Amino acid sequence: MNINDEIKRAIKHGIYLGEMSDEKEQVFLTGLNSFLISKNNFCFLTESTGTIVVSSVSEDLAEIFIHRGTLKITPLAAEGYFKIFMDTLEFISKKYEQEPVNAKDKASDQSETDDESTEDDGELWL
């Protein structure tokens, strides 16, 4: 699949984050709100509706909310939306960075490589 198609799909249908409780949704949105502010966006989180509104000096640019585990970004203006979308993707990618391989997986990977004697260890194999 093409990256452009994926971006279009995410804009149209949202970004699935997985099953979340109301508390986890609120924590996620609070973190996203703080991140967007750190990226020089003017925004506020309405806790009663669980919606982040991102604005410019003159108008609202987008609304961000979670519905059934899917993060949705609704454009409210013609310009400025894509930057908000990309900042949101950056937050998601940082939040869900690939976790390191756990110790059990590392041990099984190490035992597989120990069995293969491809290095020249000075012994002659017949």
| Domain membership of residue 64 as a residue range | 3-98
Question: What mean pLDDT comes out for the span 10-22?
Answer: 90
Instruction: Give the pLDDT band (50/70/90) at residue 32.
Output: very high
pLDDT value at residue 64: 95
pLDDT value at residue 126: 45
Q: Give the pTM.
A: 0.72
Q: Evaluate whether residue 7 is within a structural domain.
A: yes
| Residue the block writes with tokens 């035992």 | 111
Q: How far apart, in Å, are the Cα atoms of 51 and each of 30, 42, 43, 68, 121?
A: 10, 14, 10, 14, 63
**Residues 19, 15, 56, CA angle at the centre, nearest 5°?**
120
Q: Evaluate whether residue 104 is within a structural domain.
A: no
Whether the CB-CB separation of 71 and 85 falls below 8 Å is answered with no
| Residue the block writes with tokens 């997985």 | 18
Tokens for 4, please give them.
């452009």
Beta strand pairing call for 60-67 and 70-75: antiparallel
Question: What residues contact 109, with CB distance under 8 A and at least 6 apart?
Answer: 101
Tally of domains in the chain = 1
Q: Evaluate whether residue 49 is within a structural domain.
A: yes
The CATH number covering residue 44 comes to 3.30.160
